Amino acid sequence: MIGISTKTIYAVAALHELGTIQTGGVLKIKEIAARASIPQSFLEQILLELKKQGVLTSVKGAHGGYKLAKELKDITLREIVLILETDAFSDLCRTNNAVLKLFWEDIKKGVSEVFDVPLSELKNYQMKANKTLNYSI
């Protein structure tokens, strides 16, 4: 079933950074890598895959970079996982036992629904983090 790799974690971090820029703005790979603490060479592969799948667009030239192809509210964690994880949401149960099949199907469905969260939720987590930081000062 589902396993979250570093690739997906970095993709979400990059999308979070891209979600913070002004509409129409772009970020260079170097900027995204620095802001999200992602190795630039690894990030390049991730961004190319997300671009190929229509999550991102790129602007060429000296003032170019990457930007979201759609709003974060329209991108779910499930979408990113399905793009980057080869065996995401695959069958767990490799038996003919009807009880076990039903059990694992329910588990898979429950886990799958958790991943339907839109990445716009990152803004709520940013506010929580900011509150925590403000109380710590």
Residue range 30-73, pLDDT digits in tens? 999 999 999 999 999 999 999 999 999 999 988 899 999 999 99
Of 37 and 94, which is predicted with more confidence? 37
The answer to the question of residue 53 being in a domain is yes
- Reported pTM: 0.82
Range of the domain at 104: 6-136
CA distances to 9, 42, 90, 91, 98 from 3, rounded to whole Å, are 11, 19, 10, 13, 25
Residue 13 has pLDDT above 90, yes or no: yes
The answer to the question of residue 116 being in a domain is yes
Question: Which CATH number characterizes residue 124's domain?
Answer: 1.10.10.10
Query: What is the total count of domains within the chain?
Result: 1
The answer to the question of residue 1 being in a domain is no
Specify the pLDDT at position 1.
46
The answer to the question of residue 80 being in a domain is yes
The answer to the question of residue 76 being in a domain is yes
